[in-house]
Amino acid sequence: MQSMNDTDLGTPRRSSRQNVTLEVDGHQVTVPQGSSVMLAAATLGNHIPSLCSTDTLEAFGSCRLCLVEIEGRRGFPASCTTPAEEGMKIRTQSDRLAHLRRGVMELYISDHPLDCLTCPANGHCELQDMAGAVGLREVRYGYEGANHLDAPIDASNPYFTFDPSKCIVCSRCVRACEETQGTFALTIDGRGFNSQVSPGQMDSFMDSECVSCGACVQACPTATLMENSIYEMGQPDRVVETTCAYCGVGCSFNVELKGNEVVRMVPNKNGHANHGHSCIKGRFAFGYTTHPDRITSPMIRGSIDEPWREVSWDEGIGHVASEFRRIQDKFGKGAIGGIASSRCTNEETFLVQKLVRAAFGNNNVDTCARVCHSPTGYGLKTTLGTSAGTQAFDSVLEADVIMVIGANPTDGHPVFASQMKRRIREGAGLIVVDPRKIDLVRTPHVKADFHLALQPGTNVAILNSLAHVAVTEGLADDAFANARCDPNEYSEWKEFISQDKYSPESVAVTSGVPSETIRQAARLYATGKNSAIYYGLGVTEHSQGSTAVIAMANLAMATGNFGREGVGVSPLRGQNNVQGSCDMGSFPHELPGYRHLSDAAARQRFEEDWSVHLDPEPGLRIPNMFDAALDGSFRGMYIQGEDFVQSDPNTQHIESAMRAMECVVVQDLFLNETARFAHIFLPGSTFLEKDGTFTNAERRIQLVRKAMPPVAGMADWEITAAISNAMGYPMNYTHPSEIMDEIARLTPTFAGVSFEKIDRLGSVQWPCNASEPDGTPTMHVGQFVRGKGHFVLTEYVATDERTTRRFPLILTTGRILTQYNVGAQTRRTENVSWHHEDVLEIHPHDAEQRGVRNGGRVSLTSRAGSVVLTAQITDRMQPGVVYTTFHYPATGTNVVTTENSDWATSCPEYKVTAVEVQPVSSLSDWQRRNREFTEHQEALFDAREREPVAERG
């Protein structure tokens, strides 16, 4: 079913240097070679009747409705599968064609329930449209014969329904699942009249391989596959275009609403990051936005053991300002700080750091990127000169070899994974470097050439070894490296990397990866015409996270893989705006645009614009804030949209720090784990309730458009501005576009960015300035941003986190498809049907040794703490390594992770924790205490003093 805004050209657009000119119904039209006759006609606004074709899928030619006449040719070819040719003369309308089309429609309608008036697709059904378009007035065959009208409905999926009685077997759904999503969950079972769409081997959708991306629902021309929300609410009446607020892919969506209620989210065909595709989270998991758990009134309390009291916005904001002023007067300017959110907009994160620097007068600002991609910023800035990925997502379609390191794109970045899988199906080589057998290692029609199942913590050794093979086997691109990088550094690096300790034979011992696998993977990467690296938190969240990022950059520089499409080093960023929150100066040592505070000229520029004096000394990072809270020098914190009590490592340490503070202000959608330690709660707004921009993993800035008013009355940027005003530093913006104008004014890489331009172009990839007015899809073309590429020696140093007899296993953590980060949003949607608890994946051998049974409860214990969760025995894991997620607060996964961190950025080493696993039957001590504390906090919330509705400001 098309989105309300879409025009369907019938078959996909083609790009070709050569055009062909033809005549359709007497009108000339020129289209790129390879275009279909149907598309040529559609270009003239002539939409030939069709059912089985759509411009998002390759034509299939099964419905025979799109027949045309071609001068000089016999018969009636299907316009969807016939390529347009130079000089062709096409007729799309004639008596004969009309007769044939009516005949086709008669057959369809004779096996279709005639319940149009009560059908959820009524008025939005292509079958209905086509019956009208071909002038169908009668159906001669009767409805008594064999038909499919009693076919049972499959309502197993919580988000959409499959009603096969309405199916016309056009196979658009099957092709969408194959071509767009790449899951191959659907087939056409049976032949001829008995043909029917089937998930798997006649499974239900929920029991099949289906990942609920919804591509089939979108492709279906009838009501056979239909969103349940349309059944429940009817068809929408307005559309707002916006950007997904979940992961760093940044899918563009049309929010379809009825009044202020979202009916459905339809991926935008013109979205530059997603091209009309989406995953389950963005398309279906929006129920949290109206969940009854949303807090809709500001609240304050004197201590965390007192009930909350609802207050007006004026009182709430005023209380924040007076508390922060009180603390600063008593304990000094540096006793408070702020945390910016990677889920909020660029404009909102910009305001948080401005609030801290200009109104608090210090640089105690940080963001959750500290715990995920801060090593990316450090490593790529050091080697290449800019702290961001080098490519656009579409670049992967030009890659000949793809290396995925420490990332699980089919779960973490699903829409990009579909694009990547398409390229692999077309023949690109694939190397997966991951301790776990992630889906990409083997999934339908995709198989990794090499899976380097390394021991967690040995990334740098493996990356050095890949480079070792490239250099010692003469596969490096010396000409590129000598021309584009410092030749002396390159030569020194070659000598370093050629040492025997980085040979595959030596590294095999450290990493557990067979030497021949390393060698062959290195050859594949180094000899690919275009080789691209994609990586995730499995690279950065290590004690050598920054070193590994540098090692990847070294490898790509040495093999000439920068500066064009199909190559590069690209971080797959976790949260929707983690790139943006870094760009906006959310780190304590950097001003927006990654300019160090010690840069006097940059500082001066901000001082003049903001009329303040800026402290030239970097402020506290998040872990330092916790330490300072415990030593009593840090007493107040403004936290916008971040839940580090659940997401950051060593929970018990953080809890102690939170308890030690005098004024914790949490601004969020829900009373999350961090808010249990708060003294002031300010209700935040979802992405549907505000204007602004997000920047995705490819540096693409896209608009977030307000679809409905904020449920609590204020957008997050308005709250930050109000706090600043209350603290005496004026912030008077009337719209987020004015904040972006300020960002552009003060940030050279954003100089050409404005809401007007993003709206006009659809999106803009920074740098966007006078020399690149429309943005920069590929970085480092011709030369690196820093001038010469900088080779840095990347000595492998084993982590201090060692296995012992007491803790013989390594725990590594990650995420899964249906849940997102701390789960605050996805846990409040039907996504819990797929994943309702965190489970511990363990190899059968390790399970057997410990008497662990599948589905049994086990304790997971490290030097930091212990939790209990359910075991899942799987050979996805290698022996010696266990895996879990951290989506559920009751599990407390981060009670177990330690405070070890990256040497350069303090990014925690989530991916390597020495643990032991044992069967148990009861909760851990922490879980018991946490349950009691949660119940206590819920009681304090339930006992809150309510603000009369009329008094809410």
In the complex, the residues that contact ligand FES under the rule CB under 6 A are 50-53, 61-66, 78, 80
Contact residue for ligand SF4 among 88, 97, 173, 822 (CB under 6 A):
173
Contact residue for ligand SF4 among 121, 167, 263, 572 (CB under 6 A):
167
**DSSP letter string over 454-485?**
PPTT-HHHHHHHHHHHHHHTT-S-HHHHHHHB
- Please say which residue, 68 or 211, places its beta carbon nearer to ligand FES: 68
**DSSP letter string over 337-390?**
EEEE-TTS-HHHHHHHHHIIIIII-S--EEEGGGGTTHHHHHHHHHHTSSSS-S
CB 375 within 8 A of CB 548: yes
Number of Cα atoms under 13 Å in the Cβ half of residue 422: 19
Contact residue for ligand SF4 among 63, 66, 121, 186 (CB under 6 A):
186
Least Å distance between CB 195 and ligand FES? 15
Rounded Cα distance, 595 and 607, in Å: 14
- Please say which residue, 57 or 550, places its beta carbon nearer to ligand SF4: 57
- Please say which residue, 7 or 656, places its beta carbon nearer to ligand FES: 7
- Please say which residue, 63 or 518, places its beta carbon nearer to ligand FES: 63
What is the contact mask toward ligand SF4 in residues 368 to 407, using x (rule: CB under 6 A)? Answer: ----------------------------------------
Cross-strand partners of 227: 160
The sign of the dihedral angle between the CA atoms of 175, 177, 181, 183 is negative
Contact residue for ligand SF4 among 84, 299, 415, 675 (CB under 6 A):
415
| Residue 338 CA, distance from chain mean position | 25
Q: Rounded to the nearest 10 degrees, how much is the dihedral formed by the CA atoms of 854, 859, 861, 864?
A: 130
Binding to ligand SF4, residues 261-320 (CB under 6 A):
274, 278-279, 281-282
| Residue 354 CA, distance from chain mean position | 27
Omega cis (within 30) before 767: yes
| Residue 828 binding result from ligand FES, ligand SF4, none, given CB thresholds of 5 to 8 Å by partner type | none
Rounded Cα distance, 657 and 636, in Å: 11
Q: Rounded to the nearest 10 degrees, how much is the dihedral formed by the CA atoms of 510, 513, 516, 520?
A: -110
Binding to ligand SF4, residues 730-759 (CB under 6 A):
none
By CB under 6 A, tell whether 255 contacts ligand SF4.
no
Least Å distance between CB 78 and ligand SF4? 16
By CB under 6 A, tell whether 351 contacts ligand SF4.
no
- Please say which residue, 63 or 368, places its beta carbon nearer to ligand FES: 63
Contact residue for ligand SF4 among 177, 311, 508, 810 (CB under 6 A):
177
- Please list, residue by residue across 183-220, b when 16 or more beta carbons sit within 10 angstroms of its beta carbon and e when fewer do: bbbbbbeeeeeeeebbbbeeeebeebebbbbbbbbbbb
Spatial CA neighbour of 907 closest among 682, 606, 574: 574
| Residue 871 binding result from ligand FES, ligand SF4, none, given CB thresholds of 5 to 8 Å by partner type | none
> Residue 21 corresponds to which tokens in the numbers above?
């000119």
Rounded Cα distance, 389 and 377, in Å: 9
- Please say which residue, 9 or 860, places its beta carbon nearer to ligand FES: 9
> Residue 592 corresponds to which tokens in the numbers above?
């927006």
| Residue 247 binding result from ligand FES, ligand SF4, none, given CB thresholds of 5 to 8 Å by partner type | ligand SF4
Rounded Cα distance, 152 and 742, in Å: 58
The stretch near ligand SF4 (CB under 6 A) out of 161-169, 559-567, 707-715, 914-922 is 161-169
With CB atoms as reference, the residue minimizing the distance to ligand SF4 is 282
- Please say which residue, 53 or 906, places its beta carbon nearer to ligand FES: 53
| Residue 279 binding result from ligand SF4, ligand FES, none, given CB thresholds of 5 to 8 Å by partner type | ligand SF4
Contact residue for ligand SF4 among 78, 220, 344, 430 (CB under 6 A):
220
Rounded Cα distance, 641 and 151, in Å: 47
Residue type, 545: G
By CB under 6 A, tell whether 215 contacts ligand SF4.
yes
| Residue 65 binding result from ligand FES, ligand SF4, none, given CB thresholds of 5 to 8 Å by partner type | ligand FES
Q: If binding means CB under 6 A, how many residues of this protein chain bind ligand SF4?
A: 42
Cross-strand partners of 255: 240, 265
Contact residue for ligand SF4 among 66, 197, 569, 678 (CB under 6 A):
197
Contact footprint for ligand SF4 (CB under 6 A)? 167-173, 176-177, 181, 183, 185-186, 197, 199, 210-216, 219-222, 224-225, 244, 246-247, 249-251, 274, 278-279, 281-282, 413-415
